[in-house]
């Protein structure tokens, strides 16, 4: 039987770090993450998207650290409260979320325990190729704790600060076959609220689908690091739904 939960709020936040405290009590369930991309307009094949009033990037790639569920979030600090369960972790982290980053110079080169970063993610997920992304993300099928979860959170970086072209975590192109640009995204995560909160019982299998579109990801502009060739790129909106 399937249940779909509507999304109430979706917002970008700046993560300082991700510290997971997984509960050891209660039963277990399994969770998977998948993405669903809206159909691209044939107009994206045109060579001058801004001149034709188009606002969709042709491609979008991002370094991706982890995805997890949170019981609740402190409205002031944005820290997790209650139970958290990670349902996907980049294999380049070697199951060491606390010392895994996309920029080894972040936070003075130290993880939250004050030791040098042990793992740096180098690969990019191509969000323009949804089938390949889903094959990778669904390969883990991690166990999660049973309980009630109100948020889905995605982590893209940690303590992202001064721009460093060596450690950019986003790549994008405006048109098919065009120049690929890259930059460092300072907002390190996405938080999406699921309403009503998702209840996970022992033995259930849960799939979290993140729907998104590359429409409205481009704006005309110059200056900031996310701008190139007279065009500025902004992250797409990720809208989750949950099925059992």
The helix (H) or strand (E) run that includes residue 136 is: helix 130-137
- Residue 161 pLDDT: 54
Single pTM value for the model: 0.72
Taking residue 41's Cβ as centre, other Cβ atoms within 10 Å add up to 13
Residue ranges per domain, the chain?
A: 6-243
Secondary structure of residue 104 in the 3-state scheme? coil
What's the pLDDT tens digit per position in 31-86?
A: 666 666 543 222 222 223 343 345 888 888 988 898 888 999 999 988 899 999 88
- Residues above pLDDT 90, as percent of the chain: 19
What's the pLDDT tens digit per position in 175-198?
A: 877 899 998 887 788 888 887 888
Q: 135 CB contacts (<8 Å, ≥6 apart)?
A: none
Q: How many angstroms separate the CA atoms of 202 and 96, rounded?
A: 26
């Amino acid at each position: 039987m399937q249940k779909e939960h509507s999304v109430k709020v979706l917002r970008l936040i700046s993560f300082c770090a991700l510290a997971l405290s997984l509960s050891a009590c209660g039963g277990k369930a399994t969770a998977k993450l998948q993405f669903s991309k809206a159909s691209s307009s044939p107009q994206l094949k045109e060579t001058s998207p801004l001149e034709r009033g188009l606002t969709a990037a042709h491609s979008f790639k991002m370094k991706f650290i982890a995805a997890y569920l949170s019981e609740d979030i402190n409205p002031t600090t944005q820290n997790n409260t209650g139970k958290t369960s990670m349902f996907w972790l980049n294999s380049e982290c070697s199951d060491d979320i606390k010392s895994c980053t996309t920029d080894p110079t972040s936070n003075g080169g130290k993880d939250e325990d004050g030791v040098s970063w042990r793992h740096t993610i180098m690969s990019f997920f191509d969000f323009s190729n949804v089938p390949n992304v889903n094959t990778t993300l669904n390969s883990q099928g991690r166990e999660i704790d049973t309980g009630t979860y109100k948020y889905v959170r995605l982590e893209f970086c940690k303590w992202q600060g001064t721009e460093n072209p060596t450690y950019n975590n986003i790549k994008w192109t405006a048109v098919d076959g065009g120049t690929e640009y890259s930059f460092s995204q300072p907002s390190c995560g996405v938080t999406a609220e699921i309403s009503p909160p998702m209840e996970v019982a022992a033995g259930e299998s849960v799939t979290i689908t993140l729907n998104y579109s590359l429409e409205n990801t481009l704006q005309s502009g110059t200056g900031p690091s996310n701008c190139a060739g007279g065009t500025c790129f902004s992250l797409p909106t990720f809208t989750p739904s949950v099925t059992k």
